[in-house]
């Protein structure tokens, strides 16, 4: 029986030379303009000055609207386009950008089996119209956004903190909130922390996101 020869250590097997070259990586998907998407055109037709921009990414439409028109846009999407479920209301803090915050709303339509994201900008201390009268589910989402970011919603029926307590120092999801958090045992150790809890702005142990 003939002995099978093995290639020297530095010599690649013959079949490797015939291996197919690696395929180039597929390009990453990019957002495309969605200005003429039917949902965006529907909003623009009803409120011509409300739409600032629109894009589509991974099959989802994001439309940026003027802050003062957000409640009217929400009502239009619900009544004219059948987006009857407000999934969430939240925000993004850009800290050094103007306007500082993006308010982000997610709506879902059961009949379309589709989602749309609506955004609007808000400066520090600037109120945003509440959509709680349009979507009851937005009541608690807006309270959470107020609690975590300090953004006030004009016309909200009961705007107060929901995850922290009244008198709490700061808003935990802001970029300038202490990285290490605050003392959650403030009520237990009142001699160490002032009422409301947590380090004050001039506390030497306070650290913030750079």
Q: Are 118 and 70 in contact (CB under 8 A)?
A: yes
Residue 143 φ/ψ, nearest 5 degrees: -65, -40
Domains and CATH numbers, the chain: 30-154 (3.30.460.80)
> What is the CB neighbour count within 10 angstroms for residue 98?
8
Whole-number pLDDT of residue 202: 58
Query: Could you tell me the mean pLDDT of each successive run of 10 residues in the chain, 210 residues long?
Result: 62 62 84 96 97 95 98 98 98 96 98 97 97 97 97 97 83 87 55 54 51
Phi, psi dihedrals of residue 144, rounded to the nearest 5°: -65, -40
CA separation for the pair 8, 152 (Å, rounded): 74
Report the sign of the C-alpha dihedral through residues 92, 97, 98, 100, in that order. Answer: positive
Measured from the Cβ of residue 42, the count of other Cβ atoms closer than 10 Å reads 14
């Amino acid at each position: 029986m003939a002995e099978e020869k093995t290639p020297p250590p530095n010599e690649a097997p013959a079949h490797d030379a015939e291996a197919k070259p690696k395929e180039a990586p597929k390009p990453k998907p990019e957002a495309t303009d969605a200005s003429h998407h039917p949902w965006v055109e529907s909003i623009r037709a009803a409120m011509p000055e409300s739409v600032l921009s629109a894009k589509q990414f991974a099959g989802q439409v994001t439309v940026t609207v003027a802050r003062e028109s957000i409640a009217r846009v929400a009502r239009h999407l619900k009544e004219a386009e059948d987006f009857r479920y407000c999934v969430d209301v939240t925000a993004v803090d850009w800290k050094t950008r103007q306007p500082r915050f993006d308010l982000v709303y997610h709506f879902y339509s059961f009949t379309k089996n589709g989602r749309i994201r609506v955004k609007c900008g808000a400066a520090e201390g600037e109120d945003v119209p509440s959509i709680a009268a349009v979507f009851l589910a937005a009541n608690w989402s807006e309270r959470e956004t107020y609690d975590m970011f300090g953004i006030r919603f004009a016309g909200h029926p009961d705007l107060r903190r929901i995850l922290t307590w009244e008198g709490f120092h700061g808003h935990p999801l802001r970029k300038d909130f202490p990285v290490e958090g605050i003392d959650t045992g403030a009520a237990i150790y009142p001699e160490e922390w002032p009422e409301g809890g947590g380090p004050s702005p001039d506390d030497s142990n306070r650290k913030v996101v750079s």
